[in-house]
Amino acid sequence: MEATGPYWWVERPWPVAVAEPMMVAKPGVMPMERLTAEDQLMLWPDAIWPQDIGALAVLDGSSLLDPDGRFRIGDVRDAIAGRLDLVPRFRQLLYVPPRRLGGPLWVDAPAFDLTEHVAVLPLPAPGDEAQLLLTIEQLRRRRLDRSRPLWEMWFLTGLPERRVGMFVRMHHAIADGMAGVATIATFLDATPNAVPGPRRQWMPAPVPTDRE
Protein backbone atom coordinates (compact mmCIF):
# COMPACT_ATOMS: atom_id res chain seq x y z
CA MET A 1 0.00 0.00 0.00
CA GLU A 2 1.38 3.38 -1.01
CA ALA A 3 0.36 6.81 0.29
CA THR A 4 -0.06 9.45 -2.43
CA GLY A 5 -1.20 12.89 -1.29
CA PRO A 6 -4.53 12.50 0.49
CA TYR A 7 -5.09 9.00 -0.92
CA TRP A 8 -3.65 5.51 -0.61
CA TRP A 9 -3.15 3.23 -3.58
CA VAL A 10 -4.13 -0.33 -2.69
CA GLU A 11 -4.36 -3.40 -4.87
CA ARG A 12 -7.81 -4.91 -5.15
CA PRO A 13 -8.10 -8.13 -3.11
CA TRP A 14 -10.10 -9.83 -5.88
CA PRO A 15 -9.04 -10.77 -9.43
CA VAL A 16 -10.00 -8.44 -12.27
CA ALA A 17 -9.57 -8.73 -16.01
CA VAL A 18 -7.24 -5.73 -16.06
CA ALA A 19 -5.00 -4.72 -13.19
CA GLU A 20 -6.79 -1.73 -11.68
CA PRO A 21 -5.81 0.06 -8.47
CA MET A 22 -8.50 1.38 -6.19
CA MET A 23 -8.25 4.74 -4.46
CA VAL A 24 -9.12 4.76 -0.77
CA ALA A 25 -9.38 8.14 0.90
CA LYS A 26 -7.60 9.00 4.08
CA PRO A 27 -9.92 10.01 6.95
CA GLY A 28 -11.80 13.23 6.18
CA VAL A 29 -11.23 13.02 2.41
CA MET A 30 -13.86 11.86 -0.09
CA PRO A 31 -12.78 8.71 -2.01
CA MET A 32 -12.32 8.81 -5.76
CA GLU A 33 -14.54 6.50 -7.77
CA ARG A 34 -13.01 5.83 -11.16
CA LEU A 35 -14.93 4.09 -13.89
CA THR A 36 -13.96 0.49 -14.37
CA ALA A 37 -12.40 -0.63 -17.65
CA GLU A 38 -15.73 -2.22 -18.59
CA ASP A 39 -17.62 1.01 -17.87
CA GLN A 40 -15.19 2.96 -20.04
CA LEU A 41 -15.92 0.61 -22.92
CA MET A 42 -19.54 1.76 -22.60
CA LEU A 43 -18.49 5.41 -22.55
CA TRP A 44 -16.33 6.01 -25.60
CA PRO A 45 -18.77 4.91 -28.39
CA ASP A 46 -21.30 7.56 -27.27
CA ALA A 47 -20.43 9.97 -30.08
CA ILE A 48 -21.53 7.45 -32.71
CA TRP A 49 -23.78 5.01 -30.87
CA PRO A 50 -25.38 6.32 -27.63
CA GLN A 51 -24.87 3.83 -24.83
CA ASP A 52 -28.00 4.41 -22.79
CA ILE A 53 -30.53 1.81 -21.67
CA GLY A 54 -34.20 2.33 -20.95
CA ALA A 55 -37.20 0.62 -19.39
CA LEU A 56 -40.94 1.23 -19.57
CA ALA A 57 -43.49 0.51 -16.86
CA VAL A 58 -47.24 1.17 -16.98
CA LEU A 59 -48.47 2.30 -13.56
CA ASP A 60 -51.80 2.53 -11.84
CA GLY A 61 -52.33 6.28 -11.84
CA SER A 62 -55.02 6.41 -9.15
CA SER A 63 -52.62 8.04 -6.67
CA LEU A 64 -50.56 9.84 -9.32
CA LEU A 65 -53.39 11.88 -10.89
CA ASP A 66 -55.61 14.41 -9.16
CA PRO A 67 -59.42 14.32 -9.65
CA ASP A 68 -59.04 16.50 -12.76
CA GLY A 69 -56.52 14.11 -14.31
CA ARG A 70 -53.47 16.30 -13.73
CA PHE A 71 -50.28 14.50 -12.85
CA ARG A 72 -49.00 15.22 -9.32
CA ILE A 73 -45.48 16.03 -10.47
CA GLY A 74 -44.52 17.86 -7.25
CA ASP A 75 -45.50 14.93 -5.02
CA VAL A 76 -43.73 12.46 -7.32
CA ARG A 77 -40.51 14.48 -7.30
CA ASP A 78 -40.64 14.64 -3.50
CA ALA A 79 -41.02 10.86 -3.32
CA ILE A 80 -38.10 10.32 -5.71
CA ALA A 81 -35.92 12.82 -3.84
CA GLY A 82 -36.48 10.83 -0.64
CA ARG A 83 -34.88 7.76 -2.24
CA LEU A 84 -31.96 9.27 -4.15
CA ASP A 85 -29.61 8.30 -1.32
CA LEU A 86 -30.17 4.71 -2.44
CA VAL A 87 -28.86 5.48 -5.95
CA PRO A 88 -25.79 7.74 -5.55
CA ARG A 89 -25.01 7.70 -9.30
CA PHE A 90 -28.22 9.66 -9.93
CA ARG A 91 -26.58 12.72 -8.35
CA GLN A 92 -23.14 12.27 -9.88
CA LEU A 93 -21.43 13.46 -13.04
CA LEU A 94 -18.83 11.89 -15.27
CA TYR A 95 -15.67 13.92 -14.83
CA VAL A 96 -12.71 13.46 -17.18
CA PRO A 97 -9.54 14.79 -15.51
CA PRO A 98 -6.65 16.32 -17.44
CA ARG A 99 -4.29 13.98 -19.26
CA ARG A 100 -1.90 11.89 -17.17
CA LEU A 101 -4.18 12.19 -14.13
CA GLY A 102 -6.05 8.95 -14.64
CA GLY A 103 -9.32 7.86 -16.15
CA PRO A 104 -12.83 9.27 -15.78
CA LEU A 105 -14.31 9.70 -12.31
CA TRP A 106 -17.73 9.81 -10.74
CA VAL A 107 -18.09 13.12 -8.88
CA ASP A 108 -21.03 14.75 -7.15
CA ALA A 109 -22.99 17.22 -9.27
CA PRO A 110 -22.33 20.67 -7.74
CA ALA A 111 -25.82 21.98 -8.67
CA PHE A 112 -28.10 18.95 -8.89
CA ASP A 113 -31.66 19.86 -9.94
CA LEU A 114 -34.24 17.07 -9.88
CA THR A 115 -36.58 19.00 -12.19
CA GLU A 116 -34.04 18.47 -14.99
CA HIS A 117 -34.43 14.70 -14.65
CA VAL A 118 -38.06 14.01 -13.70
CA ALA A 119 -40.76 15.39 -16.00
CA VAL A 120 -44.28 14.72 -17.24
CA LEU A 121 -45.27 14.52 -20.91
CA PRO A 122 -48.88 14.09 -22.15
CA LEU A 123 -49.30 11.55 -24.93
CA PRO A 124 -50.91 12.72 -28.19
CA ALA A 125 -54.44 11.49 -28.87
CA PRO A 126 -55.67 8.79 -28.84
CA GLY A 127 -53.22 7.90 -26.04
CA ASP A 128 -52.94 4.25 -27.04
CA GLU A 129 -50.04 1.81 -27.00
CA ALA A 130 -48.84 2.95 -30.43
CA GLN A 131 -48.57 6.57 -29.26
CA LEU A 132 -46.84 5.45 -26.08
CA LEU A 133 -44.14 3.56 -27.97
CA LEU A 134 -43.73 6.33 -30.55
CA THR A 135 -43.22 8.91 -27.80
CA ILE A 136 -40.62 6.73 -26.10
CA GLU A 137 -38.78 6.34 -29.40
CA GLN A 138 -38.69 10.13 -29.75
CA LEU A 139 -37.37 10.52 -26.20
CA ARG A 140 -34.64 7.96 -26.86
CA ARG A 141 -33.35 10.03 -29.76
CA ARG A 142 -32.43 12.82 -27.34
CA ARG A 143 -28.85 12.47 -26.15
CA LEU A 144 -28.19 12.49 -22.45
CA ASP A 145 -26.50 15.71 -21.38
CA ARG A 146 -22.97 15.00 -20.10
CA SER A 147 -23.09 18.19 -18.00
CA ARG A 148 -25.76 16.52 -15.81
CA PRO A 149 -26.15 13.12 -14.14
CA LEU A 150 -26.79 10.65 -16.94
CA TRP A 151 -30.41 9.64 -16.38
CA GLU A 152 -33.95 10.88 -16.83
CA MET A 153 -37.44 9.75 -15.85
CA TRP A 154 -40.54 10.60 -17.87
CA PHE A 155 -44.15 10.14 -16.79
CA LEU A 156 -46.43 9.78 -19.81
CA THR A 157 -50.06 10.67 -19.19
CA GLY A 158 -53.15 10.21 -21.34
CA LEU A 159 -53.39 6.41 -21.28
CA PRO A 160 -56.83 4.79 -20.83
CA GLU A 161 -58.19 3.92 -17.37
CA ARG A 162 -56.04 6.59 -15.62
CA ARG A 163 -52.86 4.63 -16.23
CA VAL A 164 -49.50 6.38 -16.50
CA GLY A 165 -46.42 5.28 -18.42
CA MET A 166 -43.06 5.64 -16.70
CA PHE A 167 -40.03 5.64 -18.98
CA VAL A 168 -36.59 5.66 -17.34
CA ARG A 169 -33.33 5.85 -19.21
CA MET A 170 -29.77 5.94 -17.92
CA HIS A 171 -26.28 5.56 -19.26
CA HIS A 172 -24.94 2.03 -19.46
CA ALA A 173 -21.99 3.13 -17.30
CA ILE A 174 -24.44 3.59 -14.40
CA ALA A 175 -25.97 0.12 -14.67
CA ASP A 176 -26.36 -2.79 -17.04
CA GLY A 177 -29.68 -4.41 -17.90
CA MET A 178 -30.46 -6.29 -14.68
CA ALA A 179 -28.90 -3.67 -12.43
CA GLY A 180 -30.89 -1.05 -14.32
CA VAL A 181 -34.14 -2.85 -13.54
CA ALA A 182 -33.17 -3.07 -9.87
CA THR A 183 -32.33 0.64 -9.89
CA ILE A 184 -35.74 1.55 -11.29
CA ALA A 185 -37.46 -0.71 -8.72
CA THR A 186 -35.95 1.49 -6.00
CA PHE A 187 -38.51 4.17 -6.90
CA LEU A 188 -41.56 1.90 -7.13
CA ASP A 189 -43.95 0.66 -4.43
CA ALA A 190 -45.90 -2.57 -4.45
CA THR A 191 -48.91 -0.93 -2.76
CA PRO A 192 -50.69 2.35 -3.52
CA ASN A 193 -50.54 5.41 -1.23
CA ALA A 194 -47.19 4.44 0.26
CA VAL A 195 -45.84 7.13 2.56
CA PRO A 196 -42.64 8.67 1.11
CA GLY A 197 -39.55 8.69 3.25
CA PRO A 198 -38.07 11.91 4.64
CA ARG A 199 -36.08 14.05 2.25
CA ARG A 200 -32.53 14.08 3.56
CA GLN A 201 -30.21 17.03 3.30
CA TRP A 202 -27.51 16.39 0.69
CA MET A 203 -24.32 18.32 0.18
CA PRO A 204 -22.16 17.55 -2.87
CA ALA A 205 -18.52 16.73 -2.29
CA PRO A 206 -16.05 19.00 -4.13
CA VAL A 207 -14.52 17.88 -7.41
CA PRO A 208 -10.96 16.58 -6.83
CA THR A 209 -8.22 19.04 -7.64
CA ASP A 210 -5.31 18.24 -9.96
CA ARG A 211 -3.05 17.72 -6.93
CA GLU A 212 -5.46 15.15 -5.51
pLDDT along the chain (212 residues), means of 10: 38 36 44 72 69 90 92 94 92 84 85 96 94 95 91 97 95 82 86 70 76 58
Q: Which residues are catalytic?
A: 172
- pTM listed for this prediction: 0.78
Tell me if 102 sits within 8 A of 5, measured CB to CB: no
pLDDT of 44 reads 66
pLDDT of 31 reads 61
Picking from 135, 137, 139, the residue whose alpha carbon sits closest to that of residue 124 is: 135
C-beta contacts of 64-70 below 8 A and 24+ residues apart: 64/155, 64/164, 65/157, 65/162, 65/164, 69/157, 69/162
pLDDT of 211 reads 60
